[in-house]
């Protein structure tokens, strides 16, 4: 029987799937992540930190459009700059001045940035960075750690590699975060042929003390280009991203999500000498200089220059962390749920319990969160619109949900309280 709360969403899925495979352009927004029957599946509007589904249910949004929104949906300052640009034109036949204005701000904010090129998605930037590294070094092998997008060179190294020729996948080697030996192994077995090391400088765990600096040293010693994929950490962990926070400067950096507060813009930036390869390789797109996103970025970056956005994001994240941890402890759920990562991008880690699996508990948590009007997947992606009061509201909902989880686990009733089949780990991006 279909859940009346999500009646329209569930019905619309059939319509969407008849036209669009999976009914979504983004894997993490699809029914693979949101179980049908207990989840909203389509959104209607979003403002500040709230979002409304097509059934009219309202949520506090902790997904924040996959962490691409940092200043809240429909930020009035950003939107006003975009409206102003709309009156001048969305795209021109030649480059616009805004490209250089935004590039200048990135160079001011991001330590490794001397030169900048724009793309639309994070995958554009990471793929461009890999091509530059291969062109600059004349080598083939790339070492990866984290998630870097949908293109062949990276996705071929994951379990979701259908459609990628083995010859391409073979050129990508995976190493583990905080495990220098696993990177050393790649350097020794591909001596003189490692073009690039690309990694998320941090995702769910903090780098151990010398990890990033040792990666930097190994790359320099081997003539390998070090790329920090700061698609998420950029404009979230610090004004200049994780490289500023950890004081390790890569050769190239990729930026994406936080750049334009949800408008489609990414960038590959880095040392002028290496970025010079951009004049020789082919990285070019019709919409690379699209002006609405650049107008948004210009305003976003101005705010980062003039206001303490990072302080606001961090304070919001820390409060949410503290209140969530209090609820975890109050309900004696420390063995089942833990939080990890940076306060502005915190991961919820579920562990198997004797009466239910981690996936069952996570699915139940989502089911109950959605009912309580909290949209959360696997991380807390806070924005400046997640005010103290909003976070207290989330904590009150968590208090009810975590106590339900504790009781149900104790009485071995969690499984039977699931209204749908639990999520299955189809493809783990990290």
- Which of the residues are catalytic? 147, 229, 257
Told to check if 149 binds ligand PLP by CB under 6 A, we report yes
Q: Which of 69, 135, 225, 232 binds ligand PLP (CB under 6 A)?
A: 232
Applying CB under 6 A, the span of 189-197, 228-236, 335-343, 375-383 interacting with ligand PLP comes to 228-236
Q: Which of 6, 34, 73, 147 binds ligand PLP (CB under 6 A)?
A: 147
Q: Which of 33, 79, 121, 178 binds ligand PLP (CB under 6 A)?
A: 121
For 203, the enclosing helix (H) or strand (E) is none
Show the binding pattern over residues 297-336: x = contacts ligand PLP (CB under 6 A), - = does not.
----------------------------------------
Q: Which of 39, 65, 85, 123 binds ligand PLP (CB under 6 A)?
A: 123
Q: What is the DSSP letter of 48?
A: B
Q: How far apart (Å, rounded) are the C-alpha atoms in residues 378 and 347?
A: 6
Which CB, 105 or 148, lies closer to ligand PLP? 148
Cβ atoms < 10 Å from Cβ of 168: 16
Q: How far apart (Å, rounded) are the C-alpha atoms in residues 202 and 83?
A: 35
Applying CB under 6 A, the span of 158-166, 183-191, 227-235, 351-359 interacting with ligand PLP comes to 227-235
Told to check if 341 binds ligand PLP by CB under 6 A, we report no
Q: What is the DSSP letter of 207?
A: P
Closest distance between ligand PLP and the C-beta of residue 387, in Å?
A: 26
Show the binding pattern over residues 60-99: x = contacts ligand PLP (CB under 6 A), - = does not.
------x---------------------------------
Which CB, 66 or 420, lies closer to ligand PLP? 66
Q: Do the Cβ atoms of 199 and 177 come closer than 8 Å?
A: yes
Told to check if 172 binds ligand PLP by CB under 6 A, we report no
- State residue 246 phi and psi, 5-degree precision: -100, 0
Q: Do the Cβ atoms of 426 and 369 come closer than 8 Å?
A: no
Q: How many residues bind ligand PLP (CB under 6 A)?
A: 14
Q: Which of 39, 51, 224, 231 binds ligand PLP (CB under 6 A)?
A: 231
Token pair 């206001």: residue: 307
Whose CA is closest to 331, among 359, 361, 360, 357? 361
Alpha-carbon dihedral 318, 320, 321, 322, rounded to 10 degrees: 90
Applying CB under 6 A, the span of 121-129, 166-174, 234-242, 336-344 interacting with ligand PLP comes to 121-129
Which CB, 122 or 240, lies closer to ligand PLP? 122
- H-state helical runs in 307-418: 309-330, 358-371, 388-410, 414-417
Positions 371 through 400 that interact with ligand PLP (CB under 6 A): none
Q: How far apart (Å, rounded) are the C-alpha atoms in residues 29 and 13?
A: 12
Q: How far apart (Å, rounded) are the C-alpha atoms in residues 81 and 260?
A: 11
Which CB, 55 or 229, lies closer to ligand PLP? 229
Q: Do the Cβ atoms of 422 and 357 come closer than 8 Å?
A: yes
Closest distance between ligand PLP and the C-beta of residue 204, in Å?
A: 12
Quick check: helix, strand or coil at residue 337?
Answer: strand
Applying CB under 6 A, the span of 122-130, 168-176, 235-243, 326-334 interacting with ligand PLP comes to 122-130
Which residue in the shown chain puts its C-beta closest to ligand PLP?
122
Positions 249 through 268 that interact with ligand PLP (CB under 6 A): 256
Angle between the 180-189 and 211-222 helix axes, to the nearest 10 degrees? Answer: 10
Whose CA is closest to 204, among 154, 258, 130, 147? 147
Give me 234's structure tokens: 């950029």
Q: Which of 61, 99, 200, 251 binds ligand PLP (CB under 6 A)?
A: 200
Could you list the residues that contact ligand PLP (CB under 6 A)? 66, 121-123, 126, 146-149, 200, 229, 231-232, 256
């Amino acid at each position: 029987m279909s859940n009346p709360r999500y009646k329209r969403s569930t019905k619309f899925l059939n319509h969407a799937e008849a036209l669009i495979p999976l009914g979504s352009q983004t894997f993490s927004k699809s029914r693979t992540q949101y179980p049908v029957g207990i989840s909203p599946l389509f959104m209607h509007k979003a403002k500040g930190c709230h979002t409304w589904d097509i059934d009219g249910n309202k949520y506090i949004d902790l997904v924040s459009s996959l962490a691409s929104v940092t200043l809240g949906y429909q930020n009035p300052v950003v939107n006003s700059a975009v409206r102003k640009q709309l009156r001048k034109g969305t795209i021109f036949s030649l480059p616009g001045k805004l490209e250089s204005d935004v590039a200048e701000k990135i160079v001011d904010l991001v330590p490794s940035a001397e030169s900048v090129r724009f793309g639309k998605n994070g995958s554009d930037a990471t793929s461009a960075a890999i091509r530059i590294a291969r062109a600059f070094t004349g080598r083939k092998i790339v070492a990866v750690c984290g998630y870097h997008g949908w293109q062949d060179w990276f996705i071929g190294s994951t379990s979701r590699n259908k459609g990628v020729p083995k010859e391409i996948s073979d050129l990508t080697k995976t190493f583990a975060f905080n495990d220098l030996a696993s990177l050393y192994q790649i350097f020794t077995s591909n001596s003189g042929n490692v073009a690039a090391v690309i990694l998320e400088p941090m995702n769910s765990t903090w780098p151990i003390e010398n990890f990033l600096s040792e990666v930097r040293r190994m790359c320099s010693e081997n003539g390998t280009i070090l790329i920090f994929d700061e698609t998420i950490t950029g404009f979230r962990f610090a004004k200049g991203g994780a490289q500023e926070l950890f004081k390790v400067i890569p050769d190239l950096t990729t930026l994406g999500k936080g750049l334009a507060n949800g408008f489609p813009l990414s960038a590959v930036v880095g040392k002028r000498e290496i970025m010079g390869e951009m004049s020789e390789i082919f990285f070019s797109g019709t919409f690379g200089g699209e002006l609405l996103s650049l107008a948004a970025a210009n305003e976003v970056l101005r705010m980062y220059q003039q206001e303490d956005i990072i302080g606001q994001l961090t304070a919001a994240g820390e409060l949410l962390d503290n209140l969530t941890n209090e609820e975890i402890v109050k309900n004696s759920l420390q063995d089942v749920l833990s939080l990890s990562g940076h306060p502005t991008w915190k991961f919820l880690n579920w562990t198997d319990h004797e009466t239910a699996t981690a996936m069952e508990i996570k699915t139940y948590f989502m089911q109950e969160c959605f009912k309580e009007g909290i949209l959360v997947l696997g991380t807390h992606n806070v924005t400046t619109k997640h005010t103290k009061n909003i976070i207290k509201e989330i904590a009150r909902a968590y208090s009810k949900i975590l106590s339900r989880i504790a009781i149900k686990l104790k009485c071995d009733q969690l499984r039977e309280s699931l209204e749908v089949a639990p999520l299955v780990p189809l493809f783990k991006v990290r």
